[in-house]
Protein backbone atom coordinates (compact mmCIF):
# COMPACT_ATOMS: atom_id res chain seq x y z
CA UNK A 1 0.00 0.00 0.00
CA UNK A 2 1.33 3.41 -0.96
CA UNK A 3 2.29 5.84 1.78
CA UNK A 4 -0.28 8.35 0.67
CA UNK A 5 -3.05 5.82 0.78
CA UNK A 6 -2.11 4.69 4.26
CA UNK A 7 -1.74 8.27 5.48
CA UNK A 8 -5.24 9.00 4.24
CA UNK A 9 -6.68 6.04 6.11
CA UNK A 10 -4.74 7.03 9.23
CA UNK A 11 -6.13 10.53 9.14
CA UNK A 12 -9.64 9.34 8.35
CA UNK A 13 -9.57 7.06 11.37
CA UNK A 14 -8.43 9.90 13.59
CA UNK A 15 -11.17 12.16 12.28
CA UNK A 16 -13.88 9.52 12.71
CA UNK A 17 -12.71 8.96 16.27
CA UNK A 18 -12.58 12.64 17.18
CA UNK A 19 -15.29 14.33 15.11
CA UNK A 20 -17.39 11.48 13.78
CA UNK A 21 -18.11 10.15 10.30
CA UNK A 22 -20.66 12.78 9.34
CA UNK A 23 -18.60 15.71 10.61
CA UNK A 24 -15.33 15.19 8.74
CA UNK A 25 -14.66 16.05 5.14
CA UNK A 26 -12.17 15.29 2.40
CA UNK A 27 -10.98 18.83 2.95
CA UNK A 28 -9.96 18.06 6.53
CA UNK A 29 -7.68 15.27 5.34
CA UNK A 30 -6.32 17.21 2.36
CA UNK A 31 -5.39 20.14 4.58
CA UNK A 32 -3.26 18.10 6.96
CA UNK A 33 -1.59 15.89 4.35
CA UNK A 34 -0.94 18.85 2.04
CA UNK A 35 -2.63 17.25 -0.91
CA UNK A 36 -5.79 18.15 -2.77
CA UNK A 37 -9.31 16.94 -2.48
CA UNK A 38 -9.04 15.13 -5.81
CA UNK A 39 -6.00 13.11 -4.73
CA UNK A 40 -8.08 11.45 -2.04
CA UNK A 41 -10.81 10.63 -4.54
CA UNK A 42 -8.16 8.88 -6.63
CA UNK A 43 -7.67 6.34 -3.84
CA UNK A 44 -11.19 6.43 -2.42
CA UNK A 45 -13.81 7.37 -5.03
CA UNK A 46 -16.50 7.86 -2.39
CA UNK A 47 -16.49 8.71 1.29
CA UNK A 48 -18.08 5.33 1.94
CA UNK A 49 -15.03 3.62 0.40
CA UNK A 50 -12.82 5.49 2.83
CA UNK A 51 -14.99 4.56 5.79
CA UNK A 52 -14.99 0.92 4.71
CA UNK A 53 -11.19 0.92 4.54
CA UNK A 54 -10.92 2.30 8.06
CA UNK A 55 -13.22 -0.35 9.49
CA UNK A 56 -11.71 -3.17 7.46
CA UNK A 57 -8.29 -2.27 8.78
CA UNK A 58 -9.63 -2.33 12.33
CA UNK A 59 -11.14 -5.77 11.78
CA UNK A 60 -7.72 -6.96 10.59
CA UNK A 61 -6.00 -5.45 13.62
CA UNK A 62 -8.41 -7.24 15.92
CA UNK A 63 -7.72 -10.56 14.21
CA UNK A 64 -3.97 -9.97 14.61
CA UNK A 65 -4.18 -9.12 18.30
CA UNK A 66 -6.46 -12.04 18.92
CA UNK A 67 -3.95 -14.39 17.38
CA UNK A 68 -0.98 -12.75 19.08
CA UNK A 69 -2.53 -12.82 22.54
CA UNK A 70 -4.35 -16.12 22.21
CA UNK A 71 -2.09 -18.05 24.58
CA UNK A 72 -2.17 -15.50 27.40
CA UNK A 73 -4.35 -16.01 30.49
CA UNK A 74 -7.84 -14.54 30.28
CA UNK A 75 -7.22 -11.66 32.65
CA UNK A 76 -4.04 -10.66 30.83
CA UNK A 77 -5.91 -10.59 27.53
CA UNK A 78 -8.48 -8.35 29.15
CA UNK A 79 -5.81 -6.05 30.55
CA UNK A 80 -4.20 -5.78 27.12
CA UNK A 81 -7.48 -4.52 25.74
CA UNK A 82 -7.86 -2.07 28.62
CA UNK A 83 -4.34 -0.77 27.92
CA UNK A 84 -5.29 -0.13 24.33
CA UNK A 85 -8.28 1.88 25.47
CA UNK A 86 -6.05 3.81 27.82
CA UNK A 87 -3.94 4.80 24.84
CA UNK A 88 -7.02 6.05 23.02
CA UNK A 89 -8.13 7.94 26.09
CA UNK A 90 -4.81 9.78 26.36
CA UNK A 91 -5.12 10.96 22.77
CA UNK A 92 -8.71 12.00 23.26
CA UNK A 93 -9.96 9.45 20.75
CA UNK A 94 -13.09 7.39 21.20
CA UNK A 95 -13.26 3.88 19.74
CA UNK A 96 -14.66 3.14 16.28
CA UNK A 97 -17.55 1.33 17.87
CA UNK A 98 -18.49 4.32 20.00
CA UNK A 99 -18.19 6.63 17.02
CA UNK A 100 -19.92 4.62 14.29
CA UNK A 101 -22.78 2.85 16.06
CA UNK A 102 -24.59 6.09 17.01
CA UNK A 103 -24.44 7.19 13.34
CA UNK A 104 -25.34 3.70 12.11
CA UNK A 105 -28.64 4.60 10.46
CA UNK A 106 -26.98 7.36 8.41
CA UNK A 107 -24.13 5.21 7.09
CA UNK A 108 -24.09 3.92 3.51
CA UNK A 109 -24.96 0.23 3.21
CA UNK A 110 -21.46 -1.17 2.66
CA UNK A 111 -20.22 0.70 5.71
CA UNK A 112 -23.12 -0.50 7.85
CA UNK A 113 -22.18 -4.02 6.88
CA UNK A 114 -18.59 -3.55 8.03
CA UNK A 115 -19.58 -1.90 11.29
CA UNK A 116 -21.84 -4.84 12.05
CA UNK A 117 -19.03 -7.24 11.23
CA UNK A 118 -16.64 -5.31 13.48
CA UNK A 119 -19.08 -5.46 16.38
CA UNK A 120 -19.54 -9.18 15.92
CA UNK A 121 -15.82 -9.82 15.83
CA UNK A 122 -15.24 -7.76 18.98
CA UNK A 123 -18.04 -9.54 20.81
CA UNK A 124 -16.80 -12.96 19.77
CA UNK A 125 -13.27 -12.17 20.87
CA UNK A 126 -14.28 -10.70 24.22
CA UNK A 127 -16.57 -13.66 24.89
CA UNK A 128 -13.73 -16.08 24.21
CA UNK A 129 -11.30 -14.18 26.44
CA UNK A 130 -13.76 -14.13 29.31
CA UNK A 131 -14.52 -17.82 28.95
CA UNK A 132 -10.83 -18.56 28.97
CA UNK A 133 -10.33 -16.44 32.08
CA UNK A 134 -13.12 -18.21 33.89
CA UNK A 135 -11.62 -21.56 33.01
CA UNK A 136 -8.04 -20.69 33.96
CA UNK A 137 -9.18 -19.08 37.21
CA UNK A 138 -8.02 -15.53 36.50
CA UNK A 139 -11.51 -14.12 36.02
CA UNK A 140 -14.77 -14.64 37.88
CA UNK A 141 -18.23 -13.47 36.90
CA UNK A 142 -21.86 -14.56 36.97
CA UNK A 143 -23.97 -15.46 33.96
CA UNK A 144 -23.11 -16.32 30.39
CA UNK A 145 -19.80 -15.17 29.01
CA UNK A 146 -21.45 -13.44 26.06
CA UNK A 147 -23.72 -11.35 28.27
CA UNK A 148 -20.72 -10.41 30.36
CA UNK A 149 -18.75 -9.58 27.23
CA UNK A 150 -21.48 -7.17 26.12
CA UNK A 151 -21.31 -5.39 29.47
CA UNK A 152 -17.51 -5.21 29.41
CA UNK A 153 -17.57 -3.78 25.89
CA UNK A 154 -20.15 -1.26 27.13
CA UNK A 155 -17.87 -0.10 29.89
CA UNK A 156 -14.87 0.26 27.60
CA UNK A 157 -16.82 2.13 24.94
CA UNK A 158 -18.58 4.43 27.41
CA UNK A 159 -15.47 5.18 29.43
CA UNK A 160 -14.14 7.08 26.42
CA UNK A 161 -17.43 8.87 25.78
CA UNK A 162 -18.15 9.88 29.35
CA UNK A 163 -14.60 10.87 30.28
CA UNK A 164 -14.56 13.19 27.29
CA UNK A 165 -17.47 15.10 28.81
CA UNK A 166 -17.14 14.59 32.56
CA UNK A 167 -13.37 14.71 32.89
CA UNK A 168 -10.48 12.29 32.54
CA UNK A 169 -10.68 10.94 36.11
CA UNK A 170 -13.90 9.23 35.05
CA UNK A 171 -11.95 6.93 32.76
CA UNK A 172 -9.73 5.51 35.50
CA UNK A 173 -12.61 5.30 37.92
CA UNK A 174 -14.68 3.21 35.55
CA UNK A 175 -12.01 0.82 34.37
CA UNK A 176 -10.64 0.30 37.88
CA UNK A 177 -14.09 -0.73 39.04
CA UNK A 178 -14.57 -2.92 35.97
CA UNK A 179 -11.40 -4.86 36.67
CA UNK A 180 -12.18 -5.19 40.37
CA UNK A 181 -15.57 -6.64 39.48
CA UNK A 182 -14.25 -9.34 37.25
CA UNK A 183 -10.64 -10.10 38.13
CA UNK A 184 -9.68 -12.65 40.77
CA UNK A 185 -7.22 -11.46 43.43
CA UNK A 186 -3.79 -11.92 41.78
CA UNK A 187 -2.06 -13.20 44.96
CA UNK A 188 -3.94 -16.00 46.58
Partner DNA sequence: GTCTATATTCCGATAGAC
Partner DNA sequence: GTCTATCGGAATATAGAC
Which residue ranges make up the site for a copy of itself (CB under 8 A)? 18-20, 22-23, 92, 94, 97-99, 101-106, 115-116, 119-120, 123, 142-144, 146-148, 150-151, 153-155, 157-159, 161-162, 164-166, 170, 173-174, 176-178, 180-181
- Residues within window 8-27 making contact with DNA, judged by CB under 7 A: 24-27
Answer yes or no whether residue 148 interacts with DNA by CB under 7 A: no
* Shorter beta-carbon distance to a copy of itself: residue 8 or 160: 160
Report the 10 Å Cβ neighbour count for 75. 22
**Burial tier of 158 (Cβ tally within 10 Å: 0-12, 13-18, 19+):** middle
Say which entry of DNA, a copy of itself, none residue 2 contacts (CB below 5 to 8 A, set by partner kind).
Answer: DNA
Strand partners, 183: 139
Opening angle at CA 51, ends 47 and 53, nearest 5: 115
Answer yes or no whether residue 172 interacts with DNA by CB under 7 A: no
Q: Where are the alpha helices (DSSP H) in the chain?
A: 3-18, 26-33, 37-43, 47-68, 74-91, 96-100, 109-136, 145-166, 169-182
* Shorter beta-carbon distance to a copy of itself: residue 8 or 126: 126
In three-state secondary structure terms, 69 is: coil
Say which entry of a copy of itself, DNA, none residue 131 contacts (CB below 5 to 8 A, set by partner kind).
Answer: none
Say which entry of DNA, a copy of itself, none residue 42 contacts (CB below 5 to 8 A, set by partner kind).
Answer: DNA
* Shorter beta-carbon distance to DNA: residue 73 or 108: 108
* Shorter beta-carbon distance to DNA: residue 36 or 135: 36
Closest by CA to 130, choosing from 186, 74, 185, 70, is: 74
Answer yes or no whether residue 154 interacts with DNA by CB under 7 A: no
Q: How far is CA 168 from the centre of its chain?
A: 18
Say which entry of a copy of itself, DNA, none residue 75 contacts (CB below 5 to 8 A, set by partner kind).
Answer: none
Interatomic CA distance for residues 3 and 14, integer angstroms: 16
Binding site for DNA (CB under 7 A): 2, 4, 24-28, 34-39, 41-43, 45-48
Amino acid sequence: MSDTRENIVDKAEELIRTKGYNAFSYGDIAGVLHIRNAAIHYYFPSKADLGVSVVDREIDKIASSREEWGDLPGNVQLRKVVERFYGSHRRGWICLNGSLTPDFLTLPDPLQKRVKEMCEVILDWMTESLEKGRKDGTLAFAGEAESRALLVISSLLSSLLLSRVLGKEVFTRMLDQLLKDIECAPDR
